[in-house]
Amino acid sequence: MSILVTGGTGYIGSHTCVELLNAGHEIVILDNLNNSHLEAVRRIERITGKKPVFIQGDIRDTQFIQKVLIDNKSTAVIHFAGLKAVGESCEQPLKYYDYNVNGTLCLLNAMQQAGVKTLVFSSSATVYGDPEKLPIQENSPLKATNPYGRSKLIVEEMLRDLYASDPNWHIAILRYFNPVGAHKSGLIGEDPKGIPNNLMPIVAQVAGGRREKLHIWGNDYPTPDGTGVRDYIHIVDLAIGHLKALEALDSAQCTAFNLGTGQGYSVMEVIHAFEHVSNKKITYEMAPRRSGDIAECYADPHLAKEQLGWEAKHGLREMCEDMWNWQVKNPQGYQ
Ligand code: NAD
Ligand code: UFG
């Protein structure tokens, strides 16, 4: 009996693997190492004292995945594998539909053929587009504003159709807000390839001297200080959310849950918090708004609390502390 974790060497996957192993689950990590390092598997073992099975492979190979599921007597899948860069998705939409939509379709076919019908899927707050109302509830209108977001929305619809056709499926769709931070040990964390797009990794690299400055994309939003507001969530809280979702999937369902803190912070607040914990000056420059960005986005996390018994525990200070600890211990990431 094991849980298959696709994309388990990536940022969110590696932290979830640690929580699964610590909770006594057996896991099989499947990843093509397209955006991650094998070293993450060794680090997961160092943290937990347990050696996870690692299989290098691609979710788009249905027969191979079916064999992995059967050989390892898998009972459930936590599905992280996919691509996540919004800008790249606008430049190479077909690649995103291939990895994220076709990849998930192949995985679902393999699961159906292997008789494994329990799934936790990584969705994103991006499926809400520019929200009409804040905080965002799960029943808010869904709309994608770029190919990456559309790929998540298509998969969500696919999962709802699948459940409607066969109510033996147990599906949790987790809509993440903005995952940041790292494991307390500083052994695993986010290791973006090339120049990061997201705020927190750039801030950490500027503080660490790897990057000269941060551009703040817009200070004329209708927010208290004019900079964009987001719901940052500590990666360990997010990882535990997967464990809780899996535990709650003993009844047949297909339900979407927001995983966020419910608290929004502006870019300036993040910079100040990071300066405080790192004792470093974050050099920044104001720049025009980034195309496609929204002013404010934060979750109503009540449904996850009521139905999964989950809520985020870490605040912004700990998110910055743990991010900084990872940056200091791994200035060049896993390499
Ligand atoms: P990540 O890139 O660190 O991890 C994804 C992993 O999937 C990588 O290890 C990569 O090598 C692997 N992978 C990609 N394509 C694959 C394929 N075809 N077959 C097998 N493995 C493959 O990203 P992450 O931040 O850990 O994100 C995990 C999931 O969460 C993704 O689906 C992402 O879209 C979603 N998500 C992430 C965020 C975020 O801000 N990090 C926000 C919302 C949703
Ligand atoms: N920002 C800057 N400068 C930067 C990077 C970001 O000012 O160099 C600002 C953005 O304008 C925004 C905030 O910091 O106001 C957060 O930006 P991120 O890029 O870190 O995160 P986003 O909210 O834009 O997007 C993230 C993921 C998406 C996901 C979305 C919702 O990258 O994939 O959260 O979950 F869809």
Mapped onto helix, strand or coil, the DSSP state of residue 266 is strand
The verdict on residue 299 lying in a domain is no
- Determine, yes or no, domain membership for 223: no
Q: Are strands 118-124 and 170-176 parallel, antiparallel or unpaired?
A: parallel
- Among 99-108, 136-145, 164-173, 249-258, the least confident range: 249-258
Asked if residue 311 is part of any domain, the answer here is no
Q: Closest ligand to 296 CA? A: 2
Is residue 208 very low, low, confident or very high in pLDDT (cuts 50, 70, 90)? very high
* Alpha-carbon span 202 to 212, nearest angstrom: 10
Question: How many domains would you assign to the chain?
Answer: 1
**Residue 294 counted as domain residue:** no
Query: Count of alpha carbons within 13 Å of 90, Cβ hemisphere only?
Result: 7
Supply the mean pLDDT for the chain: 97
Read off the CATH number of the domain in which 62 is found: 3.40.50.720
**1 is written with which tokens?**
């009996």
- 320: its two tokens: 């910055």
**Tens digits of residue pLDDT in 140-174:** 999 999 999 999 999 999 999 999 999 999 999 99
**How much is the pLDDT for 231?**
98
How far, in Å, is the centroid of ligand 2 from the Cα of 53? 33
Residue 277 lies in a domain: no
Q: Which of 230, 258, 265, 284 to mutate to test the pocket of ligand 2 (most atoms within 8 A of CB)?
A: 230
CA of 122 to the centre of ligand 1 (A): 8
Please list the active-site residues. 148
Question: Where does ligand 1 bind, in terms of residues with CB under 6 Å?
Answer: 6-7, 9-13, 31-36, 58-60, 80-82, 84, 99, 103, 122, 124, 176, 179
3-state secondary structure (DSSP) of residue 258: strand
Which residue CA neighbors atom 14 of ligand 2 most closely?
Answer: 199
Confidence of residue 193 (pLDDT cuts 50, 70, 90): confident
Nearest ligand for residue 334 CA: 1
Q: Which of the four pLDDT bands, split at 50, 70 and 90, describes residue 195?
A: confident
Q: Which residues contact 149 (CB under 8 A, 6 or more apart)?
A: 86, 124, 126, 127, 129
Q: What is the pLDDT of residues 46-71, one digit of tens each?
A: 999 999 999 999 999 999 999 999 99
pLDDT at 335: 84
Label residue 309 by pLDDT band (50, 70, 90): very high
Query: Rounded CA gap, 266 and 271, in Å?
Result: 9
Alpha carbon 271 to chain centroid distance? 22
- Angle, alpha carbons 258-140-13 (nearest 5°): 25
What are the angstrom distances between the C-alpha of 18 and each of 51, 119, 243, 257, 299? 11, 18, 11, 22, 25
Q: Is residue 244 part of a domain?
A: yes
Task: pLDDT band for 192, please (50, 70, 90 cuts).
Answer: confident
Ligand 2 atom with minimal separation from the 149 CA: 36
Domain that holds residue 140: 2-183+232-261
Does 329 fall in a domain?
no
Rounded Cα–Cα distance for residues 317 and 131 (Å): 27
The percent of residues above 90 in pLDDT, for the chain, comes to 96
Q: State the pLDDT at residue 314.
A: 98
Residue 240, H or E segment? helix 235-248
pLDDT tier for residue 194 given thresholds of 50, 70 and 90: confident
**Does pLDDT of 252 surpass 80?**
no
Which runs of consecutive H residues, i.e. helices, occur in 172-234?
Answer: 199-207
Q: Give the pLDDT of residue 250.
A: 83
Residue 15 is assigned to a structural domain of this protein: yes
